[in-house]
């Protein structure tokens, strides 16, 4: 009998049919740690339900379809009428609908809402990251709209609805609404005060006509947008509805969709305003202050989204190594591969633990926690998003050539990985924001130091890192040129403090030895060989 040439052996099975939530020990423990015990049972149930959906073959296929069939812009109908509509694949609508139905835009309206939402966002966006953009902006618009109680009363129930109601109609006729935003312009980028879009007051009731160009307007099929424009008193925040109350389309000319490195499922556009009707949000000239709460919330989502990408990459790498054999044994049992996987797992757990701590601070809402967030959010946004791309790249390599093939899903993760470092302010913008807080808001530094100081005495390497950080903070001469180094150390010390308090000893020991004790190389997989790396890897396994 002829030998078969197509027998498949030594391949890992697909990572499907698992619970993305319950298989993530760091995530489960973080929810249990920060959430009111009275809310735990219902939270576990809802997160496990979402986790099973996220890990299902069906939902993973939706993620593939949404990226294989990116959105298409239709500027005109067949008769030449301007329509400015973006067509999405049905899989996009299914993903977005499930996110809304699962409460990922309702954090502001329920107890423990921010922590529960953060955990859900981390679980669900592992299936597909692009649709997380409108989810994030819809969630984050709420605190900005609260600058105008009348606008908040009108729009907040729509934004916190658990009904996804697609299509362009007046928002008052819809069961739920999605929000986008447009801040940056081609001449300014992150320097929004250089914006040239003009706002002309139409009446004393806070209505304006906007004229100008927005260089980056995400999710252009949203029901409303928060934008910045120059009014008589300076840069001001406005709400631009996509459809007016009489059913007519607002002036909202989509010039083109961006051809991006990744995030292919999500439409990012350039938009022209030409007499576009808008309502002022907050006072004239106070646009940055009005929209800053939205920016802070979306920055936290950048941290959560990067933690989700890291977790999915690590899960895929550990899963592959658990099944794949080479050189006489399982890859996961090989000392060098184990070192790589453990190093990746440490980075992932530190990101998850930090993201949940920040979400819990939002739920607390005290002045102390607000002051802590003022420094911790930009520091975490800077560091966690920076670590995402090299981690995903190394995890891809764990799959070898299989990881470089689109079917593995790893290339999509790698293309998505740089996004969160750029969105809502690049690394330099975050570092400069930390410097501003250090120089202008002493309560923020006190709150940050109190947080990391609660772990002093538990690990000598953490103690040394805190001492070194205090020395750096005492000398602000020429600080801008070394701001990235300072912010990196702040984020690492904060992560180390959290892991020493909350993670298993083997995780905290490995993190402190490498990230704080500097017993670490320039690439992943260079942890001290004396550590209990097998336990770190086993903890990170997806359990399938």
pLDDT in tens, 368-393: 999 999 999 999 999 999 999 999 99
Model confidence over 101-151: pLDDT tens digits? 999 999 998 999 999 999 999 999 999 999 999 999 999 999 999 999 999
pTM above threshold 0.95: yes
DSSP-derived letter for residue 516 is I
Domain limits, the chain: 39-285, 289-540
Calpha distance 517→74 (Å, rounded): 55
Q: Is the pLDDT of residue 544 over 80?
A: no
Residues with Cβ < 8 Å from 319, sequence gap 6 or more?
12, 15, 541, 542, 544
> 339: closest CA among 54, 531, 507, 75?
531
What is the chain's alpha carbon radius of gyration, rounded to the nearest angstrom? Answer: 24
Calpha distance 138→100 (Å, rounded): 10
Calpha distance 456→459 (Å, rounded): 7
Residues with Cβ < 8 Å from 440, sequence gap 6 or more?
none
Q: In CATH, what is the architecture of 39-285?
A: Beta Barrel (2.40)
Model confidence over 151-199: pLDDT tens digits? 999 999 999 999 999 999 999 999 999 999 998 898 887 788 889 999 9
Q: Under CATH, which number does the domain 289-540 receive?
A: 1.20.140.10
Number of H helices, E strands in the chain: 18, 11
What pLDDT is recorded for position 3? Answer: 65
Mean pLDDT for 501-507 is 98
CB 434 within 8 A of CB 476: no
Model confidence over 42-87: pLDDT tens digits? 999 999 999 999 999 999 999 999 999 999 999 999 999 999 999 9
What pLDDT is recorded for position 109? Answer: 84
């Amino acid at each position: 009998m002829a030998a078969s040439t197509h027998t498949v052996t030594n391949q890992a099975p697909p990572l499907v049919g698992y619970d993305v939530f319950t298989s993530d020990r760091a995530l489960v423990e973080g929810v249990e740690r920060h959430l009111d015990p009275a809310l735990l049972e219902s939270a576990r149930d809802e997160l496990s339900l979402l986790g099973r959906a996220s890990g299902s073959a069906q939902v993973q296929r939706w993620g593939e379809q949404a990226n294989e069939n990116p959105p298409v812009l239709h500027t005109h109908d067949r008769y030449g009428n301007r329509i400015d509509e973006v067509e999405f694949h049905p899989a996009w609508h299914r993903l977005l609908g499930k996110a809304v139905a699962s409460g990922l835009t309702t954090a502001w309206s329920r107890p423990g809402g921010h922590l529960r939402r953060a955990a859900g966002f981390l679980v669900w966006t592992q299936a597909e990251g692009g649709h997380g953009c409108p989810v994030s902006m819809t969630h984050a618009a709420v605190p900005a709209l609260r600058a105008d109680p009348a606008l908040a009363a009108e729009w907040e129930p729509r934004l916190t609805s658990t009904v996804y109601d697609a299509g362009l109609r007046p928002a008052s006729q819809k069961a739920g609404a999605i929000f986008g935003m447009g801040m940056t312009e081609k001449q300014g980028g992150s320097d929004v005060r250089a914006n040239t879009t003009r706002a002309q007051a139409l009446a004393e009731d806070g209505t304006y006509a906007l004229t100008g160009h927005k260089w980056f307007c995400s999710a252009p099929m949203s029901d409303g947008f928060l934008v910045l424009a120059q009014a008589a008193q300076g840069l001001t925040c406005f709400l631009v509805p996509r459809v007016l109350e009489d059913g007519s389309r607002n002036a909202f000319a989509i010039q083109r969709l961006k051809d991006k490195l990744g995030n292919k499922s999500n439409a990012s556009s350039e938009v022209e305003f030409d007499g576009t009707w808008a309502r002022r949000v907050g006072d004239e000239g106070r646009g940055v202050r009005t929209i800053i709460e939205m920016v802070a919330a979306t920055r936290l989502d950048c941290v959560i989204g990067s933690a989700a990408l890291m977790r999915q990459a690590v899960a895929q790498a550990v899963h592959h190594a658990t099944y794949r054999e080479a050189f006489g044994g399982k890859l996961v049992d090989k000392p060098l591969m184990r070192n790589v996987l453990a190093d990746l797992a440490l980075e992932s757990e530190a990101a998850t633990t930090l993201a949940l701590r920040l979400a819990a601070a939002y739920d607390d809402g005290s002045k102390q926690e607000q002051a802590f967030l003022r420094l911790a959010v930009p520091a975490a946004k800077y560091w966690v998003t920076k670590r995402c791309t090299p981690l995903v790249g190394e995890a891809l390599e764990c799959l070898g050539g299989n990881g470089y093939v689109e079917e593995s899903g790893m290339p999509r993760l790698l293309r998505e990985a740089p996004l969160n470092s750029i969105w809502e302010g690049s690394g330099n913008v975050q570092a400069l924001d930390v410097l501003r807080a250090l120089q202008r808001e002493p309560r923020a530094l006190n709150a940050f130091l109190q947080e990391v100081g609660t772990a002093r005495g538990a690990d000598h390497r953490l103690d040394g890192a805190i001492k070194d950080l205090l020395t750096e903070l005492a000398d602000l001469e020429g600080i801008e040129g070394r701001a990235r180094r300072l912010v990196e150390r702040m984020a690492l010390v904060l992560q180390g403090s959290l892991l020493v308090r909350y993670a298993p000893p083997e995780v905290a020991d490995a993190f402190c030895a490498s990230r704080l004790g500097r017993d670490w190389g320039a690439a992943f997989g260079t942890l001290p060989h004396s550590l209990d790396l097998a336990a770190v890897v086993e903890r990170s396994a997806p359990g399938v």
